[in-house]
Amino acid sequence: MRVMVTGGAGFIGSHIADKLIEDGFEVCVVDNLFSGRRQNINDKAGFIEMDVCSPNLSSVFRKEKPDYVVHQAAQINVRKSIDDPVFDASVNILGSLNLLECCRKSDVKKIVYASSGGAIYGEPQYLPADEKHPINPLCPYGASKHAVEHYLHMYCVNYGLDYTALRYANVYGPRQDPYGEAGVVAIFTKKLLSGKTPTIFGDGKQTRDFIYVGNVADANAKALKKKTKEKAFNIGAGVESSVNEVTSKLKKLLNSPVEPVHGPEVKGEVRRIFLDVSLAKKELGWTPKTGLSMGLKKTVEYFKKNE
């Protein structure tokens, strides 16, 4: 079976491609290399440099003839989405629509879509947030991510395109960009390794559900193979951890004396969030096997070796 992974040279997408190849799938990576890296691409995967917004994407589908698509390509920065919501929508909504049209015309069997459990629910009315929690995003990124879920539903009803949307929590791990504005674990690890001072936005008591990237890759592989009653699943650790707590763990792992400084809070970011992942456990047969302590250890080891 052939799988196209959009954004497959990126942080999460490359891990998914690795997992699918390990499971015996033929994989084609489509990535514009805006934030992805060639060195992330598995040697056994095909690669086409292409933006999902490109009108030429249809020619890639005609050539590659994928049976399945795993859609990871996106504008992922919350702060950038607030600064430029039109760009965010052009990539996350229009780019996804371009991809869905290609899937429809190429008779793709199923698409697995990277949604956001950390951004679409907004400030939670209750915790942990499950899939039935009201959708009230505080930022354009969350709005654009959830909008595509509606399009997926319509393409399923009108064109028979099967899909699963995975609502990721805060994903971290090897290959995450330490120079971007998204990804506190990678950014802080790189700064602490370099003896530089990391900046915590706000008081650091804000909480997130930190999920190791290997767990996310496993969820995508299971979603690709399984026929499920539900179509949207939270993918997280199901545990609430503060930014201060994660920073403390990183300092200990790196034996770093550097103390972080605090900056202003970021507009559009929620105060507390963690996810109820019981539905994914029940229907996908998925559990997050790598916990926070082990995940941070693996991440630190990667950055020590590669960055």
**Would you name the residues annotated as active-site residues?**
141
Could you give the count of Cα atoms lying within 13 Å of 272 in the half-sphere of its Cβ? 10
Tell me the backbone φ, ψ of residue 113, rounded to 5 degrees. -115, 135
- Rounded to an integer, what distance in angstroms lies between the CA atom of residue 304 and that of residue 54? 37
Residue listed under structure tokens 């490359």: 14
**Interior/surface letters 108-126, b for 16+ CB within 10 angstroms, e for the rest:** bebbbbbbbbbbbbbebee
Copy the structure tokens of residue 91: 């990539």
Nearest in space to 119 (alpha carbons), one of 276, 268, 292: 268
Output DSSP code: residue 112.
E
Q: CB 206: neighbour CB atoms within 10 A?
A: 18
- Asked if residues 208 and 169 have their Cβ atoms less than 8 Å apart, the reply is yes
What number of residues does the chain have?
A: 307
